[in-house]
Structure 1
Amino acid sequence: MQPFTVTPIGVLRTPHTSREGMPIQPTGASACRGEARINPELADGLKDLEGFSHLILLYHFHESSGYDLTLTPFLDTCKRGLFATRSPRRPCGIGLSVVRLTAVHGNVLELEGVDMLDNSPLVDIKPYVPRFDTPQGDIRCGWLEDTAEQAQEMKSDDRFVQRDSTR
């Protein structure tokens, strides 16, 4: 595969200045407020966004590096395949969060439910549309079937800090 370059469209400002102790998913960050500060030259692209209650944010895990193809994720005690987890240590380091949009002021989006690290580079924004984004039919959650609700209380620790034996 050919590498490609991604240019951030802005930066995320959140109260989470350290990876340890932060929420592991937006469901555990419902009271956490933050902002997406979009590059001023892209502000016109925010037109009509205020009509949406939620946004999908794609961002870079800028403080994570390396990865392991198997790891012990939050909410479990045994090793799982990387792509069956939401670990921040990934080959491309792309994060995804669905957050609540509370206001738009020029090039600044006010958000609730922020679970990302402060100063994370924002890669893209998409409006969350349940008819598009909620799959129909039989939905299975694999190994998370019995533990996903624990994400509301679980906080991050140091398990995803790069170790010497990683890529």
Structure 2
Amino acid sequence: MRFVVKPVGVVRRSQNGDWIQLYKEYCEALDYVDHFSHLIVIYWLHKVPDHERSTVKVKPPYGYVPTLGVFATRFPARPNPIGITTVRLIKRKGRALLVKGLDADDGTPILDLKPYIPVYDRPRGRVKLPRWVKLHLREHRHHSHTIEELLSIVERVHLAV
């Protein structure tokens, strides 16, 4: 089975903030998006090299974190390097959206946007986190690694093809 994914726009970072610039054919798809305070942004981690997509295990550079299966991480190198984040929508200007909290590089292809609706998008029930995640969140509240930095500091185990 083969999938074809067509980007709907691109990330533009500037001194004026982080913008999501949609392609012209999707301008009408933004109708009423500015009625929401937050959006879920789905994007393609285009800076992850193809050979990194066979990564199955990663060892973060923190002593208290064990070697993890890639699906137990937020690491960008993965079989399908898809990023997802929730952003605050500051304003819409035509087919451009000024957002806050976007953790994607300039030029990153946008795959989809969805409105954040708490009743659908927040987890139901208690959220369980491993001890090392809690430690990491306590010690590294704001992390701003680029994809290149993350790829260089974490050991990877690749799937033998």
Give the TM-score band, short-chain normalised. 0.7 to 0.9
Equivalence for 2:20: 36
Between 1:92-101 and 1:139-148, the stretch displaced more is 139-148
Corresponding position of 2:101: 113
1:16-31 aligned at under 5 Å gives the runs none
More helix by share: 2
Q: Take 1:92 and 1:163, find their aligned partners in 2: how far apart are those partners?
A: 18
Distance in 2 between residues matched to 1:121 and 1:74, nearest whole Å = 28
Structure with a larger share of its residues in strand: 2
Structure 1: gaps spanning 5 or more residues: 16-31
- 1:147 and 2:131 matched: no
TM-score normalized by structure 2? 0.82
* Aligned equivalent of 2:151, options 154, 160, 163: 160
Partner AA of 1:160 in structure 2: L
Is the 8 Å Cα contact of residues 8 and 121 (structure 1) preserved in structure 2?
yes
Match of 2:59 in 1: 72
- Counterpart CA distance in 2 for 1:163 and 1:84 is 15
Q: % of aligned pairs identical?
A: 29
Secondary structure at the residue paired with 2:103? coil
The reply to whether residue 49 of structure 1 matches residue 33 of structure 2 is yes
Question: Is 2:125 the partner of 1:137?
Answer: yes
Provide closer, same or farther for how the CA distance between residues 139 and 73 of structure 1 changes in structure 2, counting only shifts above 3 A: same
CA contact (8 A) 1:73 1:85 kept: no
Deviation at 1:135, TM superposition (A): 1.4
Evaluate the alpha carbon distance shift between residue 81 and residue 6 of structure 1 in structure 2; reply closer, same or farther with a 3 A threshold. same
How far apart are residue 155 of structure 1 and its match?
3.0
Q: Distance in 2 between matches of 1:5 and 1:91?
A: 15
Q: Which residue does the alignment assign to 1:19?
A: none
Could you tell me which of 80, 89, 109 is aligned with 2:77? 89
Deviations 1:109-164 (A, max 9, x none): 11111211110000000001111111121111234133224443223162414989
Q: For CA contacts below 8 A with separation 6 or more, give which structure has more relative contact order.
A: 1
Number of matched residues? Answer: 150
Q: Flag structure 2 segments of 5+ consecutive residues without an equivalent.
A: none
In 2: Cα distance, 1:150 partner to 1:70 partner: 23
Inter-partner Cα distance in structure 2 for 1:46 and 1:74: 41
Give the TM-score normalised by the residue count of structure 1: 0.79
After superposition, the Cα gap between the structure-2 partners of 1:36 and 1:57, relative to the gap in structure 1 and judged at 3 Å, is: same
CA distance in 2 between counterparts of 1:55 and 1:94 reads 16
